[in-house]
Structure 1
């Protein structure tokens, strides 16, 4: 996702096959964030917010699993 984020700064980088491949993977995830957070000038901060949300979700999920495992032991 970070590579896809940086590709937005390079002109025509998302039009090649690799960019299109990443677009098919990440655009469905980024679309709800883009509806909520508009771009500021040429900078799309919705990608940054999406990465932060993904990290927070991952940490929350790990904490839930740790709680379940500690209660089972």
Structure 2
């Protein structure tokens, strides 16, 4: 395995890890006691900079007595498309080297 392949694998692993962090943040947010723990706060600090622009433009949808945060769903879908796009571009660049 050459250096470029190793670097691509590392980038892909980090991008995938952040995707899992986004999903974990969603799961923890559904359980109020967990959201206020140190783990919940760490996950929130890691994901809030990415989620903030989506929340600014996509307001929560009222659903009965609760509000559904559609912005999170949009942010996760966009993230996974971006992840795939970034990896496609990086792999294309490495193939030309």
Query: TM-score band, normalised by the shorter chain?
Result: 0.7 to 0.9
- May I ask how many residue pairs the two structures share in their alignment? 72
TM-score (norm 1): 0.82
For 1:19, the equivalent position in structure 2 comes to 40
1:38 counterpart (42, 59, 63): 59
Aligned to 1:29: 50
Task: Tell me how far 1:67 sits from its aligned partner.
Answer: 2.4
Gaps of 5+ in 1: none
Report matched runs for 1:1-73 at 5 Å: 1-41=22-62, 42-72=67-97
Which structure shows the bigger proportion of residues in strand conformation? 2
TM-score normalised by structure 2 residue count: 0.65
Runs ≥4 residues deviating over 3 A: 69-72
Provide the alpha-carbon RMSD of the alignment: 1.5
